Structure 1
């Protein structure tokens, strides 16, 4: 039996109250959790009466396996009494079905058992595929957006406009999706959405609002404290150096007093008063020093103090810009505008949640968020006034054990608290320093709150600290402690890194072990990311090769002996997956075996490109690029010259046509012919097989018959490539378990995954026992350990989108938006945006620090880090600006960190800690760190050695001659189609079919290229002498007004006038155009019978409806002398002014602003009826319904023409 520490024993044996175990990295928390369960079972507890919640399915499986192994060990212990022995034997059979799972899996079991409590159909499927969820969300949003567009909702248009960039209107969609992620992980989703609006509300003044008092004032005080801290540092420098004292003491001293006074006034004085004081505040300039003062003195501290003053000025300016750019009246005006936008956003968000729910309901699916919400509903819903589900679980479970408690979210905490009561207790294990799932809305503050509360003397609950690290060498612990005692505190990091939190070595490594930590700073001026990435990978590979070549010695703790390093002792970690594809390629060339747990660009790998091309041509062989990709691949094996020969047979048709024609061509060669014939037979076989079998079976058939699996297995990285192909097979299997079916749909699904940036992660191809270097992200490494850890890119920039985006989100404070002025398109930040942005910056920096902690604590013996800089001097100067020199570093300096390199530099490599050995080597002996400056190798000047060869005459090949001849002799068989336009607008051919029996058009309208034209283009504006408004412009403006007017009631003249004025304000209309619009005629239109039908069915009306139809060229250009094939088609496109879609059919209407007289009336009706006829033909095809009404409406004379009767 192992010897437990005192704290470990407490965690194993203490009972009867809630316990929070704060377990540092390497402290053996999983072992302790298992041992606690075992001891409870030995005391007579049943495994069925324990709920053990893990963070991942893999962790649950591992825990079951380890628990089962431990119980079996005890059963073989002959010292156990008979009753205990029998009891433990029973437990062995219960462990596989015990409640040891993720919280999501447990919620699923609640739903399956008590679905009837909330009237849920039990025949549902879990949306475990995130891509399928993404596609369904996209569909839900598209449906919702189209409904709003159809209603022409002006508030929705404003909302969209506020979040739209110049490229698309997807900005609002991104906001809705992000807001959904925050709302849905909140226990009270609807209330949380309501609170978003409350954040922007005020009664009398902004200074009296809850937001100002609860959110703005604390941040103001915090920022002023940072300024005061900077002035204290300046005063310390002044006391240390006479020159600084003479020049800048008064600057720092006066500023300190002013800031302290202002801090006391915040919360007492109004926003306007504080703003006035800041506007009037001037930082005193430094006193000029004479030459005599400076001569013979060290000016380093003086320069440092000047930089400190500059920093003080920058932070003061930022404080003003963040909070006080606008006057209080301006802030209040912004809040009023924001309220409208936020209220509409909340409405849209609720609509999205409802529509997404409807789609899931229709497909009988649930996602992971549904599991949590439905479990809560079931637990809180009574049946016959009895809380049947809640009582069942509260009675069943005697203890709830929560692993990785630091990563629970608010919704999961709600479930945990519901299940616990006075008769059962919570045992929570975690480490807030390893909370790294903020993107999943993990809430480390829940752990932090209990961490504080459980230390109170009046709290019966217990906090147990496990600080001993049984994983790492002392050098690793010292390095980690040195970093985090300088950068972690409650403000940034959520916990003080004190003696209770720091790592204490729990394993004694032999003194002979080389455990020096390395920071290799690569120096290169290249701006290209590709070049930087290549340098990092090359140097990491070289370092590994040196370790292997020198037979670096590893300490084996289990055997207590030294052994020679293996590749499997090394792990390469990074923040993201972006380097992995290059790593695979370079390490294969360097002959370093690696296992990549998750590389990007899965579908870009050669083997997947071949397979996706094959599936594409099985679905449709008339696709040139995938077809040639397969022909060029090892499956067929044609080379470029052979592919060119096939193309020469027919250069105009699809390549598949040329391929078939090649079999019978006189010029075909036997060896190519054989390959082509075999491939076409094979392809025909696959196409037939695909119609009768599943996609997965088709894929496996291709693997078996082509030998592709065996082929890629023999390539560099063969195991990985084979695993990639197996993953595609598994993906197809999983796909066909969904509601989506068919090869074509599967191909579209895969394409959609790539469009949504949901590339599959590359699967593990190698067993953990294989001798390979492991490559993974920090997130994937959590819970693992390796003798040597290489961190690849310490200079990788933090992701700042969470606090620098146009819209920012926070669980507590909601959403901060940027307003866009609709007239000048200028953006300006709201004060809510500034407050939430500042809060998110702290949260992001905290999470990045915790990621660094997780990365560094994976190492057992040695850390090797690679960073990057263009200028060494600038980087080191940044590290030297750190203050204070001991204790926790200034908050503002920590928040300036852009990457892990900055965090390590300011905490371990400042001038106080750094010892210079040479211009390329620095040490920090306190934490056994070595800083190596690595400069690029000097390469030979190859340019001077380039030999320019003499020109050698080359006789053209027969293939080249044949190609040139065919090009020169070629006549295109479809020249008529080239001369025919591929596209016509309805407006251009509106005379066609004016009379359904008359298909003749005026000869002069038919141009050389067979296209009907409206005539010459309008002159550009700078060539037009007058700026008189044209009739066409008035017509377009009138249509725009008719498109935007609300139809929920019959609009009157005043409604049109108000709308026109709004459009003028929004720069949609000019004043000149607005004056020309006849509001009386527009009001008359809606008073007419046709207008009243539109009002009555306004929910079924679509305005400015785009439609297209393919028409035979023979029909469209019957008057042409050209000979058109029956297959020649023209795409005719137009926009219908209005469509009313009724159950029994469709009514279309088109209004005209022409000047109508008795003389031209019939001519105009005849002219426009052709246009409406085409619209009717197109809409009937699109909607698959008959057109039951066709109307022309002439606004000038307020007259409707029923074309259905003509």
Structure 2
């Protein structure tokens, strides 16, 4: 096994010995690899995997870690022929590599008798535990009601409402909160006894400091406004006095007597006659902000606040005691019901294991069992988990890895401050402890990393995020180049109501993003392949109620989507082929007929179909189409030609097996080749290939074309799709919609962070009962005698503390979302009155301003709008920029798909075409010099040079395998050829495999075998040898290339035309690519020069496409003549 190349910091994490180590590993820094490599390194030095405890936070992570360690040990054993390492690889399956809960279960089961639980105790399912909790709560309430418990009845009167449901929920919430702490419910009892006022006053001091900073900021802005607009000297003197007052208050803040110092301070009114009006208004707004901050500080700094808090503290302690006694009774009832069923829940296991390990002898025995203790995702631990693992660790044997910036599970009672406190303890040169910071990012391209840093350097601080985003935390891009971030905003229409429904806003944004997704499909990724749907992930803070909207809208654009609720899989590349089968079976279906006519199989455009419809009587389109064939114009001739083709297919259906019919239809319509050159052709071709294989399997089970079509319709009706789409690599080829939490640990080439304008969820801050790990418990005040409730100052302080923690968590969630992207990050939101929004957020916000904002979008815009590059909101992705280099666009809301927009552009088509129908129909065969098309295929260029591309000719007397058809068949085989083959026999074996997979028919297989000799000559050529040695071989590479029209040789215009084509074979040699295009022409020495000139333009365009897609040069270009067995190099 080749040694993993490590950075200096990674190497330090792997090789440091004899210390407790905390690795602060930023997103994409390779922490899992480093953890596994350290374990393997220790084993190589003589350690035993069976004497290690490796704790993860999910069963999947534990399984992946086990597999990774085992794989690396086996590789090292094979490389070094070391039997001990091979044995250790076997022991990996027995090692304690597990979640913390699994470890706790092990401790409990090994000591069940000591804990007083049966040896056969099991962990109950969440459903089972939930039922038992409900029954235990009923037991507890029944007992309390029967005893007429005064404390309980007081709780009921204060918190129950009309039913007991709310009170039960509060007790369950308290119980869950306490279960995450080593003290269990005793934490609540301590809260009932402790003096929490000092901690509350610290929260208030923090808020007052924020207010004073904002006061100073506002007064500085007043001074700048006065100077820039040359306001009267008297006003400027007032401004300076106000600023001086603000600064003096900040200086006095930490000294004794601050309350007395600030009392009486005020900001005077502005002078009369200030002009112009906008300057006057701006000055008034700044002064109003200052007065608000000053007034709130005066109130909260008052000595009266302490007195109120002390009075309320007695009330809160009384309520905590009452809740403690009710929760204790519930806990006893719950424990009894679990004991009767011989089960424990996960919280019991953790608390039980911790209780057992309070015995020093038992704790020492477990600590002696493990030479090393590893903890992954350390930022997600809670207090009880930290306490448990501390009891089984020894000094110098603990290795913890995590990233506080990715701590996003506070709702599961994870405490990021555990990581932060540990980092501060380990800082410095203290022996026996060490912090190693790994902030190299190997995941994201530099453009993405730069955007993350630009945003987080402005937003994340100790005040918000609980850590300063400084040089120690800043990401370092380790990939050499590439990457882009863009901000894509949807401008809600001006007529939208102020209280526009969230669903309406989401729909508008979804339309914007659907169009952006279609733009992205086919664009080159870093590995040279075109982007597919499966490369894109749409992340949201919450998908509830939103993923369905996005799935539906994306479906309207033909974008396959996978959401938490299911899949939306619209696939036109599949639908058209199925519709062809329907038309062959029965041409009376309007939808199926229109679909096939509009496709390349029919070749009709909208104008032609509208003319057919307009000429007919009222009724079905199918009837109009059949009637139009009776006319004598060119369009009628085209209609007859189409029906002759369908009739020929019907004759084939009568004489062939279903499977052979399907293969014939695919090959004769060149269906796979056609969809491959469409936008997103790689993904579509992969989807169709998988679908076709499944279709052949279905056909083998059906008796007729009618039964197959009926079966397909039923599949679509029941599941919304004929099959699940796949990428070329076999992954499901859908755009994924995930919540940010679900994306943790994942990465995607393209990430779209949507719904950024959604407001933060503050609902928990309005709960009747608030809990805080350090402050205790708070509720509203209820006078029991007169039954009046009033807000408690204590609860307001709790809300301030919890909101700050909530905002810190939201910021870390934003960081996680942004760091999921490998190559492109798109930040999306919807704005109303964008000029007002930009003006509000572009002034250079500070941490105390960020604390007041309520959405991801506000944060990001406030962070980046001050950069000069953000001034122009028409900047397209890919445009160069200054400073932050973030592309950005503001687009109008438009909920119409392209089809709907075109439909709305066309007024009264029927009446116009009825008029046009009076004129003779003139088919369009060639491009006018003044009318350059938007797109052309490479085949058009070849037609210009006198070669007709292979097309389906009318049925009639012709050889079964013409030269063109034989060339097409050999070409098809070359698409699937495995270059490891070297002989004619090996080539024939591959032909038989293609036949077995129904890629070719048995007859085609027989014809191909007769050509195996010439294919074997190719396989034995020097070129085949070069292909085998290549590290990267690409086949059937579709492309769309924008070039000046004159480069095609068809036009003289300089307008841009999109050329589409498919490159047969491309392989890397060194840093460059070698390009090969297969040709079926007969070749000899006389016509080589003619052919070279004929295909020169085509291969020049191929070369240009390759260089644009991959960023690498094409060193050599060859034509390979399949039937002439000759290579021709073009220069």
TM-score of the pair, normalised by structure 1: 0.58
Secondary structure, in 3 states, of the residue corresponding to 2:807?
Answer: helix
State whether residues 127 and 366 of structure 1, in contact with CA within 8 Å, keep that contact through their aligned partners in structure 2.
Answer: yes
State whether residues 232 and 256 of structure 1, in contact with CA within 8 Å, keep that contact through their aligned partners in structure 2.
Answer: no
Post-superposition offset of 1:931:
2.5
Pick one of 126, 137, 143 that aligns with 1:141: 137
Range 34-43 or range 215-224, more displaced: 215-224
Post-superposition offset of 1:94:
0.9
Pick one of 555, 560, 567 that aligns with 1:593: 560
1:643-658 alignment runs, 5 A limit: none
231 and 410 in structure 1: CA distance in 2 versus 1, 3 angstrom threshold: farther
Name 1:158's counterpart in structure 2: 154
> Using the alignment, how far apart are the partners of 2:880 and 2:294 within structure 1?
36
Secondary structure, in 3 states, of the residue corresponding to 1:776?
Answer: strand
Range 260-269 or range 353-362, more displaced: 260-269
State whether residues 475 and 517 of structure 1, in contact with CA within 8 Å, keep that contact through their aligned partners in structure 2.
Answer: no
Post-superposition offset of 1:944:
15
Post-superposition offset of 1:168:
4.0
Q: Structure 1 residue 896 and structure 2 residue 837: aligned? A: no
Name 2:56's counterpart in structure 1: 54
After superposition, the C-alpha distances for 1:141-160 in whole angstroms (9 at most, x for unaligned) are: 23322333333344433322
Post-superposition offset of 1:911:
7.0
Unmatched 5+ stretches in structure 1: 202-208, 557-561, 602-706, 724-763, 884-888, 948-1206
Name 2:842's counterpart in structure 1: 880
Secondary structure, in 3 states, of the residue corresponding to 2:529?
Answer: strand
Post-superposition offset of 1:355:
2.3
Name 1:198's counterpart in structure 2: 193
Name 1:395's counterpart in structure 2: 368
Name 2:168's counterpart in structure 1: 173
State whether residues 223 and 239 of structure 2, in contact with CA within 8 Å, keep that contact through their aligned partners in structure 1.
Answer: no
> Using the alignment, how far apart are the partners of 2:403 and 2:232 within structure 1?
44
**Count, aligned residues:** 755
State whether residues 248 and 305 of structure 1, in contact with CA within 8 Å, keep that contact through their aligned partners in structure 2.
Answer: no
Name 2:267's counterpart in structure 1: 283
After superposition, the C-alpha distances for 1:703-735 in whole angstroms (9 at most, x for unaligned) are: xxxx9xx99992379399999xxxxxxxxxxxx
Name 2:864's counterpart in structure 1: 908
Post-superposition offset of 1:554:
0.5
1:996-1145 alignment runs, 5 A limit: none
Pick one of 538, 554, 575 that aligns with 2:541: 575
Name 2:520's counterpart in structure 1: 547
1:395-794 alignment runs, 5 A limit: 395-422=368-395, 424-509=396-481, 515-524=484-493, 525-526=496-497, 527-548=500-521, 551-556=522-527, 562-578=528-544, 579-597=546-564, 714-715=715-716, 718=719, 769-794=731-756
State whether residues 50 and 400 of structure 1, in contact with CA within 8 Å, keep that contact through their aligned partners in structure 2.
Answer: yes
> Using the alignment, how far apart are the partners of 1:253 and 1:455 within structure 2?
43
After superposition, the C-alpha distances for 1:1045-1097 in whole angstroms (9 at most, x for unaligned) are: xxxxxxxxxxxxxxxxxxxxxxxxxxxxxxxxxxxxxxxxxxxxxxxxxxxxx
Name 1:1033's counterpart in structure 2: none
7 and 284 in structure 1: CA distance in 2 versus 1, 3 angstrom threshold: same
Q: Structure 1 residue 858 and structure 2 residue 820: aligned? A: yes
State whether residues 512 and 893 of structure 2, in contact with CA within 8 Å, keep that contact through their aligned partners in structure 1.
Answer: no
Name 2:886's counterpart in structure 1: 929
Name 1:315's counterpart in structure 2: 293
Name 2:88's counterpart in structure 1: 91
944 and 103 in structure 1: CA distance in 2 versus 1, 3 angstrom threshold: same
Name 1:802's counterpart in structure 2: 764
> Using the alignment, how far apart are the partners of 1:828 and 1:778 within structure 2?
38
Pick one of 64, 67, 91 that aligns with 1:65: 67
Name 2:178's counterpart in structure 1: 183
State whether residues 595 and 766 of structure 1, in contact with CA within 8 Å, keep that contact through their aligned partners in structure 2.
Answer: no
547 and 151 in structure 1: CA distance in 2 versus 1, 3 angstrom threshold: same
Secondary structure, in 3 states, of the residue corresponding to 1:518?
Answer: strand
Post-superposition offset of 1:778:
0.7
231 and 101 in structure 1: CA distance in 2 versus 1, 3 angstrom threshold: farther
State whether residues 560 and 567 of structure 2, in contact with CA within 8 Å, keep that contact through their aligned partners in structure 1.
Answer: no
State whether residues 462 and 468 of structure 2, in contact with CA within 8 Å, keep that contact through their aligned partners in structure 1.
Answer: yes
Pick one of 820, 832, 835 that aligns with 2:797: 835
Unmatched 5+ stretches in structure 2: 569-707, 910-1131
213 and 867 in structure 1: CA distance in 2 versus 1, 3 angstrom threshold: closer
> Using the alignment, how far apart are the partners of 1:187 and 1:719 within structure 2?
50
Secondary structure, in 3 states, of the residue corresponding to 1:427?
Answer: strand
Post-superposition offset of 1:942:
9.0
Pick one of 31, 34, 47 that aligns with 1:32: 34
State whether residues 570 and 790 of structure 1, in contact with CA within 8 Å, keep that contact through their aligned partners in structure 2.
Answer: yes
Range 441-450 or range 140-149, more displaced: 140-149
363 and 313 in structure 1: CA distance in 2 versus 1, 3 angstrom threshold: farther
Secondary structure, in 3 states, of the residue corresponding to 2:401?
Answer: strand
Post-superposition offset of 1:124:
2.2
Secondary structure, in 3 states, of the residue corresponding to 2:5?
Answer: coil
TM-score of the pair, normalised by structure 2: 0.62
Post-superposition offset of 1:351:
2.1
Range 67-76 or range 412-421, more displaced: 67-76
After superposition, the C-alpha distances for 1:774-810 in whole angstroms (9 at most, x for unaligned) are: 2211111111111100112111211112334343221
State whether residues 215 and 246 of structure 2, in contact with CA within 8 Å, keep that contact through their aligned partners in structure 1.
Answer: no
Range 316-325 or range 56-65, more displaced: 316-325
State whether residues 453 and 459 of structure 1, in contact with CA within 8 Å, keep that contact through their aligned partners in structure 2.
Answer: no
> Using the alignment, how far apart are the partners of 1:176 and 1:138 within structure 2?
11
Name 2:25's counterpart in structure 1: 23
